[in-house]
Amino acid sequence: MTALKRSRARSLAAASGLALCLALTACNSAADDDSGGSSAGGVNLDDCPDPGAVEKEIKDEITLGYSAPLSGPVAGVVEVSSRGFKARIEAANAAGGINGVPIKIEYLDDAFSPDKAKANVTQFIEKMDVDILNTFGAGQVGAMADDQNAACVPLLYPSSSDPKYLDMKNYPWTVQFLPSASAETAVLVHLIQEKVPDAVVGVAENETASGKAQSEAFQEAAKEAGLEIKLVTSDTDPNAAATALKEAGATVVYHAGVVGTCGAFDTARGRIGYEPELVVAASNCANAAEYLASGDAADGVTILRYYKDPADPALKDDAAVKEYLDALGDADDPSNSITVAGWLQADLLVNTLQQAADSDAGLSQLGIIEAARDQDYASPILIDGIHWLSTSDRPAGVNGFEPISWSTAEKRFVSAGDVVPAK
Q: Is residue 334 a part of any domain in this protein?
A: yes
Q: Are 201 and 252 in contact (CB under 8 A)?
A: yes
pTM confidence score? 0.81
CATH number of the domain that 139 lies in? 3.40.50.2300
**278 lies in the same domain as 408:** yes
**336 lies in the same domain as 265:** no
Question: What pLDDT score does 378 carry?
Answer: 97
Residue of 73, 82, 92 lying closest to 340 (CA atoms) = 82
Q: Is residue 174 a part of any domain in this protein?
A: yes
Domain count, the chain: 2
**379 lies in the same domain as 409:** no
Q: Is residue 310 a part of any domain in this protein?
A: no
**330 lies in the same domain as 218:** no
Q: Are 398 and 388 in contact (CB under 8 A)?
A: yes
Strand partners, 134: 66
Tally: H helices and E strands in the chain = 14, 16
**56 lies in the same domain as 157:** yes
**55 lies in the same domain as 174:** yes
Per residue in 172-190, pLDDT (tens digit) is: 999 999 888 888 999 999 9
Q: Is residue 368 a part of any domain in this protein?
A: yes
Per residue in 118-148, pLDDT (tens digit) is: 999 999 999 999 999 999 998 999 999 999 9
Q: Is residue 275 a part of any domain in this protein?
A: yes
Q: Is residue 338 a part of any domain in this protein?
A: yes
Residues with Cβ within 8 Å of 366's Cβ and at least 6 positions away in sequence, in order, are 39, 41, 43, 45, 54, 55
Q: Which residue type does 405 have?
A: S
Per residue in 315-340, pLDDT (tens digit) is: 999 999 999 999 999 888 898 889 99
Residue-range definition of the domain harbouring residue 112: 51-179+315-392
Q: Is residue 9 a part of any domain in this protein?
A: no
CA distance 395 to 57: 26
**289 lies in the same domain as 357:** no
